[in-house]
Structure 1
């Protein structure tokens, strides 16, 4: 199992465009003590995570417990591509909601799968087709051992590996240092999260968790409401 997992890790195709192309001008929001705690620095990580300037991330994309709009069974991950949200469903009609960044048109993956396994601070190796599009990534090819983990690694602090019908889809739910890309479609297909959020999700989600990637806007509208967090 470990061998097959390591092999699959080398295939992850998540990356972004040039950072200068995607970093927008953002307007700071009011101070929020709860958000300040959620997105504080994490000095105890293998690679200490800096604090996120949460005031520059729209509040709707902050981690929060909401009424579950997905209709899925508790213990399911749902990526809403229309809203740029990820939900982890709980009993009682609740869900933890996170803001996410998604793939550009033509690279997005959708459907049902499972989180086959998870990794802390993973290595990243672009597949050959990605290197063909972006030759500058050749230095991280499989023959070079990939990019080591760290704050600049495209997979961030954690990665959850999506399989479908027993096969690696090459798509991941993963962290990213590019907090400004949350709520946008800029990556090569993967589901990108603020590093503090993916650390939180990693601890909630076991291996074999079902995942659905879909556009919830095609379903009857449900108004999100913030609710109390479960124990």
Structure 2
């Protein structure tokens, strides 16, 4: 009797059992998976950062503004605390208010959400410091600087500018000026730019608040209406109570220019 039929029968049974096992495994696998896999939602894009903030080298790089070439600020020589930055608001004032902390040489522009923009500034030298309140009532890009008669009398070399020094990077008023008023009258105090970036953090002005030009350009862009300004000796409760002074500034210019933008 031949063994071939028996071998074939065994082979057929093995093939059948193997196919059955494979089918069972496939059914078991299909029971653990689904063809209706939900596509995950795309990630939510992060809000773009404020373009006015970033690394210091970018914020204070050379730039062309209104046709004038501003040089770069050597940021390696700046104290990092005087670099423009967003901080927790230490003033407690409402958004849009400007607060100067004389003791620290900081100016804060209060924002929503308990935040503020902090700028490093230069303030009045001995005999020209002041505290008090005022309102930004006018502003001007690249103002012409006209020294007042009192200044020309003290510094006769400035007589050549009695009719005005053309605007530019070397102007004492810098790239922008914000004019402070009290009770509708010009206080002769200004928030303005300066080419003397190394005066930031020091008492060097005649009473005005000086900024690096890149910073006053930024502040100017954010003050589009009358803004309350407080100049305080410090930000303590006592400093807030002392924030009134009758000090009269030494004029830095001959007055608000006729072509300035008055804010309403």
Partner of 1:153: 171
| Aligned residue-pair number | 186
Task: Give the Å deviation of 1:114.
Answer: 0.6
2:198 is aligned to 180
1:71 equivalent in structure 2: 92
1:81 pairs, out of 99, 102, 108, with 102
The alpha-carbon deviation at position 46 of structure 1 amounts to 2.1
Match of 2:118 among 94, 97, 109: 97
Report the Cα offset of residue 201 of structure 1.
0.6
Greater RCO, 1 or 2 (C-alpha within 8 Å, sep 6+):
1
Report whether the alignment pairs 1:61 with 2:82. Answer: yes
Give 1:196's aligned residue: 214
1:154-189, Cα deviation, whole Å (9 max, x unpaired): 000000001111110111100111111100011111
Deviations along 1:23-70, one digit per CA (max 9) or x if unpaired, are: xxxxxxxxxx71111111112442111111111010000000001111
Using the size of structure 2 for normalisation, the TM-score is 0.67
Distance 1:209 1:84 in 2: 20
| TM-score (normalised: structure 1) | 0.76
Report the CA distance shift for 1:206/1:38 in structure 2 as closer, same or farther (over 3 A): same
- Give unmatched runs, 5+ long, in structure 2: 1-53, 240-264
For the Cα contact (< 8 Å) 2:91–2:235, is it kept in 1?
no
Please say if residues 139 and 178 of structure 2, whose CA atoms lie closer than 8 Å, have aligned partners that are also in contact.
Answer: yes
Q: Secondary structure at the match of 1:155?
A: coil
Secondary structure of the equivalent of 2:167? coil
CA contact (8 A) 2:200 2:212 kept: yes
Question: Is it true that 1:43 corresponds to 2:78 in the alignment?
Answer: no
Indicate the SS of the match to 1:43.
strand
4+ residue segments displaced more than 3 Å = 217-221
Is 1:70–1:216's contact at 8 Å kept on the other side of the alignment? no
Q: Is the 8 A contact 1:124 1:146 kept in 2?
A: yes
